[in-house]
Amino acid sequence: MKSFEDVADFHGHVCPGLALGYRVSMFALKELGERALDEELVAIVENNSCAVDAVQVITGCTFGKGNLIFKDYGKQVYTFIKRPSRNRVTTKGYGIRISVEWKSPEETDEEKKMWDRYMKGDLSEEVLKAVHNRRSKKIEMILNARDEELLKVTTGKIDLPEEARIYPSLRCAICGEKVMEPRARVKDGRIVCIPCFEGNKE
Ligand SMILES: [Zn+2]
Ligand SMILES: [Zn+2]
């Protein structure tokens, strides 16, 4: 089992978003239990914030493997579904949908003042220390909160996203680079890649 330190190591820094992603992922693994070997976990994330790095490290659902799906909804919502690999015709799997409900605590007047100064470019030791302390306090709270304080959870059968397939590649008539078939476009009767299709260069 990976730890929060592993997550921080991968992400490069420690921040409240990462802590939230860590709590979401730990909860998902706890609820969905030890994964069977013939099951694959699929994650659908509805934002591309720091939290998603924690999801990748903790759950093993990664962008490169294709079992991390990004929906650009700008929502703090994470869905995890078990996909049985022996039965590829299934369109639904048992899953869990987690919405992050955590509200960061009201700032004190002092914290507000320091944040304003920080936003105006004040990088004095006093300001930096205050901003750092506020962030650490938030991270600490997230890591120690009870699940019910952080997450709103629903479970059940959830539609599985379509599996990543392997496509043949074609060669772009403009830049000469390879592009997978479903992403190729036709421009003036020639097969081109998306950047060349959208660009003006000829
Ligand atoms: Zn971060
Ligand atoms: Zn091209």
pLDDT by residue (tens digit) across 57-86?
999 999 988 889 999 999 999 999 998 776
Ranges 92-101, 148-157, 163-172: which has the least confidence: 163-172
CA separation for the pair 101, 115 (Å, rounded): 24
CA 164 to ligand 2 centroid distance, Å = 23
Using the predicted structure, report yes or no on whether residue 196 has a pLDDT greater than 70: yes
The three-point CA angle 119-124-129 to 5° equals 85
CA 87 to ligand 1 centroid distance, Å = 38
CA 63 to ligand 2 centroid distance, Å = 23
| Model confidence band, residue 160 (pLDDT cutoffs 50, 70, 90) | confident
Dump strand ranges (E) for the chain: 39-45, 68-70, 77-84, 92-100, 151-159, 169-171, 178-180, 185-187, 190-192
CA 167 to ligand 2 centroid distance, Å = 17
CA separation for the pair 97, 160 (Å, rounded): 13
> What does the pLDDT read at residue 37?
63
CA separation for the pair 185, 145 (Å, rounded): 49
- Segment 4-18 mean pLDDT: 97
Q: 């994470």: which residue's tokens?
A: 78
Pairing status of strand 151-159 against strand 92-100: antiparallel
